[in-house]
Structure 1
Amino acid sequence: MNGTPTVFDEIFRLLTPERLLLDPRATGEGVAVAMIDGGVESSVLAAKHPQMHPIQGAIFRNDQPQPFPYLGHQSSPHGTTVADIILTMAPRVTLYSADVFGPTGTSEVDTVIRAIRHAIDVWNCKVINLSLGVPEAKLQQPAKRAQLLRTVEEAYYRDVLVFAAAHNEHPLTRSYPAAFAPPLISVDKGLFADPLDFAYALRETVEFQAHGRAYLGPFTREPATSWATPHLSGIAARLLSLRPEMKPFEIKTLLYWMFVARQSQESKAETPG
């Protein structure tokens, strides 16, 4: 019957992003997030986010099997910008910086894999943010690709949600690990009036779009998947602070239904009468 509320209308009313993400408890408190990227400048972030927990982490090198201690000042503009987005979205997360680039600005797949495993095994992270990607042309070795896929799958089976940036030229170019979706969540860039907004926009293996602009550092006004991915990671951390025991598939489903709920609200608002 036209105009009669359905059970889905009731569900959408409960799942509105405003109701969940603006809950005063949705701060990321109690959620460990690993950021696998360049290093971060702790003093810059502490000045902007005085309520943040101290940043922890490690430095991973291609030629060393064990990570070096993170000292808080071996940083990159990219890593600091990504960390700033996560803290802007979820100011009370426990943030771990896995620096896989160092002064050379380059990294190997093996190094990224070791950092992911460290985030799971040692830091017990619930969310891993990968604002990086390896173009398909540079990951031709089947063994390396399979090893990276197994690591992503292991994270999923251990209830760790991995967010990975799609290639900025998507859908023309695939990059890894974003191309492994699912079991991870791949993120494309979009422009939204509210940074808490996002969209489910399935194209190839990329499922979600999030706000693609940043707030700190160079090139922040240029939309990029590197900036979109930590927006969605931060949103997931906010949801996890409301219900920490959620599984990756539950968080992904909740994100989808929140998007559907917003679409339903907007459709009703546009309907005359």
Structure 2
Amino acid sequence: MSTATPQTGLTWSLRGRSPEDIPVLLDHAAAPGAGGRGVRVCVVDSGVDRDHPVVGRVDSSWVVEKDDTGIRVAPTDTGDSCGHGTACAGIVRRVAPHCELHSVRVLGERFSGTGEVLLEGLRWAVRQRYDVVNLSLSTTRMRFVEELHALADEAYFNGTVIVASAHNTPVESFPWRFASVVSVGSHQEDDLDLHLYNPSPPVEFFAPGQNVEVAWLGGRTIRTSGNSFATPFIAGLCARILSEQPRMTPFQLKSALYLSAANVRSPRPAAGRSMAAGHGPQHQ
């Protein structure tokens, strides 16, 4: 009987090793106010209008092409097919003005697209090792769930943060339902800098997404609503945090989003009770 060899790099236990062998160094070289500088954000959507004044520079643009010979990702200069991706890119740019912005087009005109094309575009973005992937899309097709789940885990363990939009209606769709992504819904508050933690997941965070002004085709802006537009707020916030703490893992980044959420507060000790050591329950 043959014995399978574990993949290189997998750590199954710490036998023969000590804590000193696995140091985790805190990043003290923070750059407050870096605004996303040095962080690569990829918007997997309908493309991005390169000339839009709200979006600014787009560092690269790609498109998923599918024909009789197969499916592939290729460079493109065709811009945005319907406006959705430009809207998301503009929000990322507002929150993290100095980040790198990249685009992978998986939607066509009238927001048309397939799960197969979405999967290929997301796979390509993850394997390019972008720091943050904004995915204001999902699929309800169950046949893609297993591959999407594996891909979301691959991103999580390789340091790419997928920020995924929850569906606007209460249906099962993916990949936002996976714990390995940062899932986002919208709130109705007027504060454009307010994000909230959801104590009852699977949606983990809420961000501005109701009647928000977004970039659109032709250099215009419009007002619109949806979880799609809350998601790039969190993606931009991730970029901003990573520009200040570039060695953060997706796990650590989720913790930072949780701790900075407006509704997360430290409890105050009750009057007359001490929280000091030595005043807890006594055991005999």
| Residue 231 of structure 1: how far off its partner (Å) | 0.4
| Residue 210 of structure 1: how far off its partner (Å) | 0.6
More helix by share: 1
CA separation in 1, counterparts of 2:54 and 2:110? 27
- Answer yes or no: is 1:211 the counterpart of 2:199: no
- What are the superposed Cα offsets for residues 205-262 of structure 1, whole Å, 9 maximum, x if unpaired? 11110111243238953331000000000011000000111000000001111126x6
Of the three residues 62, 65, 70, the one matched with 2:66 is 62
CA separation in 2, counterparts of 1:161 and 1:214? 25
> 1:40 matched to which residue of 2?
48
List 4+ stretches of structure 1 deviating above 4 A. Answer: none
> 2:245 matched to which residue of 1?
243
- Structure 2: segments with no counterpart, 5+ residues: 1-29, 269-284
Aligned AA for 1:256?
A: Y
CA separation in 2, counterparts of 1:72 and 1:86? 21
> 1:148 matched to which residue of 2?
148
- What are the superposed Cα offsets for residues 21-42 of structure 1, whole Å, 9 maximum, x if unpaired? 9x422x1110001111001110
Pairs aligned (count):
232
| Residue 263 of structure 1: how far off its partner (Å) | 4.3
Q: How does 1:189-204 map to 2 (within 5 A)?
A: 189-204=186-201
| Contact 2:81–2:107 (8 Å) recurs in 1 | no
**TM-score, structure 1 as length reference:** 0.77
Of the three residues 27, 38, 41, the one matched with 1:30 is 38
| Contact 2:131–2:160 (8 Å) recurs in 1 | yes
| Contact 1:41–1:76 (8 Å) recurs in 2 | no
> 1:118 matched to which residue of 2?
124
CA separation in 2, counterparts of 1:191 and 1:105? 24
| Residue 176 of structure 1: how far off its partner (Å) | 1.0
> 1:17 matched to which residue of 2?
none
- Answer yes or no: is 1:167 the counterpart of 2:148: no
Q: Which has the larger radius of gyration?
A: 2
Of the three residues 222, 228, 237, the one matched with 2:224 is 222
**TM-score, structure 2 as length reference:** 0.74
| Contact 1:127–1:237 (8 Å) recurs in 2 | yes
Q: 1:151 to 1:214 in 2, by over 3 A?
A: farther
CA separation in 2, counterparts of 1:74 and 1:255? 30
Identity %: 28
> 1:16 matched to which residue of 2?
none
- CA RMSD between the two structures: 2.5
| Residue 74 of structure 1: how far off its partner (Å) | 4.4
- Answer yes or no: is 1:93 the counterpart of 2:114: no
Q: 1:39 to 1:237 in 2, by over 3 A?
A: same
CA separation in 2, counterparts of 1:166 and 1:179? 8
| Contact 1:40–1:76 (8 Å) recurs in 2 | no
CA separation in 2, counterparts of 1:24 and 1:151? 32
